[in-house]
Structure 1
Amino acid sequence: MIANFRDQGVKAYRAAKLLHRSLETVYRVYRFLAAGHTLQEYCQHYRKNKAHCGRKAIQLPTDEATYIKAKVAQGWTPDTIMGRAERPLSCSMRTLYRLFEWDNFDVRTLPMKSKRRPNGYVKQRGKAGQLGQSIHQRAIDFPNFNREFGHLEADTVQGKGHQGAVMTLVERTSKVEVILNVHSKTATSVTQHLQV
């Protein structure tokens, strides 16, 4: 498609927009063809480069592979093999689980199944930011906070499959608990039921 656009005289930026591709990708093909190469040569060049991408095959030394196979035959799991530390191994537990998976071993039956995260992964869960009043400011505004009546602690509990939700309000000194059926865990629903 990119070669056809070039043959028709369409500018690279316009072709990139029409094809929903990166401008650099289109420019790369345009430059390659402008240098006198053919489209078939570009495809061969692309396939050759693509073959070098991705994770390299894991090759364990023969003695380590023999040791691991012997332990697996005895019923050991990857975390047991690594955890015993009977001998140093040149791979991590996660790599060992991956090798098990590649050997068509059902890793779901093992006690731990690791999950690979891409480089630069940042955990987002549980980072809601600054919600409400700072605990330091609270100590200034309410010096008798731990002994005064009327301070509530709130929490929300979501149902199975994210269906329904309840909110609990607990008064700190008397431990009186109020449970509200807020139906969903959204800020709008919670605020609406708190104002009733």
Structure 2
Amino acid sequence: MTYSHLTTAELTTIVNFFTQGTKAYKVAQMLKRSVETSYRVYRYLKTGATIVDYQQQYISNKKRCGRKLAQLPQDEVVYINEMVAQGWTPDTIIGRGDRSISCNRRTLYRMFKRGQFGFDAKDLPMHGNRHPNGYVEHRGKAGQLGRSIYERYEDFPNYTKEFGHLEGDTVQGKHHQGAVMTLVEHLSKVEIVLNVHAKKAENINRHLSEWLSKFPRHFFKSITFDNGKEFAGWREIANQFDIHTYFAEVGAPNQRGLNENNNGLLRRDGLTKDRDLRNLPDELVNQLMSKRNRIPRKSLDYRTPYEVFMEHITEDQRQLFF
């Protein structure tokens, strides 16, 4: 049921009829209002107050209406800020449930947007401009380099539920100076970052070959790249490790959405576009990789990529990744 407050015109009408001695219930009928509404104004006017007094009282009462801002204990505020500093989102903080928070996720997001408790929405992932619908990528493409991503679903009909499928890409530094290669395992969402130093096919193949050589043959079933020129030597990797290799369509980064999203998170974590990545320390790369793999994700039922990944490998193999 909805209720609309009396307008200034209605209040003026009621005052005129009150002055004329008209019964309150007749005024209510003419205005098509509740009888109690008219009687309430009549009772107020009988105290000697004016319609101006009534309006001011109404404004004062209305200021006290509405939902009050949610309040959080200081220990929860400290905990939330600590988790956000580690890359967690309000959704992750509430969903993971490591400790109780005195609000739901939507309320917590609103607090960030309002700047309440010192929270800042700019600290959250994906806060900023995004590409518009229909955006097509044109940078550094070499045409369709190899087998289409659509063949991947034919070769692996259970792709979305299988372990061992990788998505690969590169993240460049300032003025195209330096790069790292990123690999994301599709099921666990674990991210591997290889410090390749330069965005060249020979660098990509050398570091990728060294990394894949650490694992049993067929441990990974497939890799899906974009069509960047740095992946032009893909046949060498495919033949050496007998691994299926696919390519997203030209200008369709959304077909490797998981990899693209993780690259954006790496940018937030420190690999910014204004940073030269040619001499990036391996220790920093390992720290960023470790941090990202230890943040719970909603798509993993608020488990971390590391926790899910560990379910599919042995303890000895663990040392090869982290």
Q: Could you tell me the TM-score, scaled by structure 1's length?
A: 0.46
* Greater relative CO, 1 or 2 (CA 8 Å, sep 6+): 2
Q: Could you tell me the TM-score, scaled by structure 2's length?
A: 0.30
Structure that is richer in helix per residue: 2
